[in-house]
Structure 1
Amino acid sequence: MPDDLPPVGNVLGSFIRAQRQMANLSLRELSALTQVSNPYLSQIERGLSEPSARVLKSIAEALNVSAEALFFQAGLISEPQQRECEATEAALRADSRLTDDQKKALLTVYRTYLRTNGY
């Protein structure tokens, strides 16, 4: 790995921290939402631990980001799949004709279909 690229854990941890901060959540609040311990979340954010897929899914749901985005940051899926998922989710979030609850419901259904199809 080139010296100018941070380790995957640091990229993932930084991404999770940024998403948590944008959601105005403390580590304790995120811990309560994910049922993942506060110290473990801190280790993930600092790049000291590599979370399982289950933990990543839990964090994604709590932060209202796609699990695919976290899987990409963790190096578990390739960029094209992640870009396609992000574009679809961004389109759903941007549709001003839908209420926030409708957007959340559609995102949940979309993510469920992707998981069912193995993505």
Structure 2
Amino acid sequence: MSEAMRDAGVTGVPELCRRAGINPSLVSRWEHHERQPGNRALRKLAPVLNVSVRKLLVEAGHFSEHEMLGGEDALSEILASPKLTDRQKLALLSEWRKQERERELRFSDTVERMLAWAGRSEESRQSP
């Protein structure tokens, strides 16, 4: 969150809380992993931080990035956002590409393991 605060020109948690109308003790609980931010709080934070609610939902762990930002829709949303600076768009696109590569590698690895298991299973059925 500190990077988003810096990018949005928010100097600290007290200013963030004041601008978003959020209790500072709530943010402290988030920072100490005692609670996760709820949807209402995230909707208040998003405009202050100049990020989408979707991004905050992913960062808060409510949804995976794959669930929230899949395929070409993610690229379109990032590029079309009037609230993001070019720098923020480039950073999000870079992260999106990285996540896509990692997802493809995990999928490929899973397919290889399934094929290997299926091959072993087929051999065991054929041997007397």
> What's the counterpart of residue 90 of structure 2?
none
Q: Is the 2:8–2:48 Cα contact (8 Å) retained in structure 1?
A: no
1:87 equivalenced with 2:75 (yes/no): yes
**What secondary structure does 2:36 align onto?**
coil
CA–CA distance in structure 2, aligned partners of residues 42 and 22 of structure 1 = 21
Structure with more of its chain in helix, by fraction: 2
- Structure having greater relative contact order (Cα 8 Å, sep ≥ 6): 1
Per the TM alignment, residue 53 of structure 1 is displaced from its structure 2 partner at its CA by: 0.8
CA–CA distance in structure 1, aligned partners of residues 34 and 74 of structure 2 = 27
**What secondary structure does 2:69 align onto?**
helix
CA RMSD of aligned residues (A): 2.2
> What's the counterpart of residue 106 of structure 2?
none
TM-score normalised to structure 2 length: 0.51
Which protein shows a greater Rg? Answer: 2
Q: Is the 1:66–1:86 Cα contact (8 Å) retained in structure 2?
A: no
Per the TM alignment, residue 63 of structure 1 is displaced from its structure 2 partner at its CA by: 0.6
Per the TM alignment, residue 86 of structure 1 is displaced from its structure 2 partner at its CA by: 4.6
Per the TM alignment, residue 78 of structure 1 is displaced from its structure 2 partner at its CA by: 3.1
Q: Is the 1:56–1:67 Cα contact (8 Å) retained in structure 2?
A: yes
What amino acid is the match of 1:54?
R
**What secondary structure does 2:37 align onto?**
coil
CA–CA distance in structure 2, aligned partners of residues 47 and 87 of structure 1 = 31
Per the TM alignment, residue 61 of structure 1 is displaced from its structure 2 partner at its CA by: 2.0
> What's the counterpart of residue 78 of structure 1?
64
Where do 5+ consecutive residues of structure 1 fail to align?
A: 1-15, 94-102, 105-119
CA–CA distance in structure 1, aligned partners of residues 75 and 31 of structure 2 = 25
> What's the counterpart of residue 43 of structure 1?
29
List per-residue Cα deviations over 1:17-67 (Å, max 9, x = no partner).
221122231212111121101232233234232121101111112111111
Where do 5+ consecutive residues of structure 2 fail to align?
A: 84-128
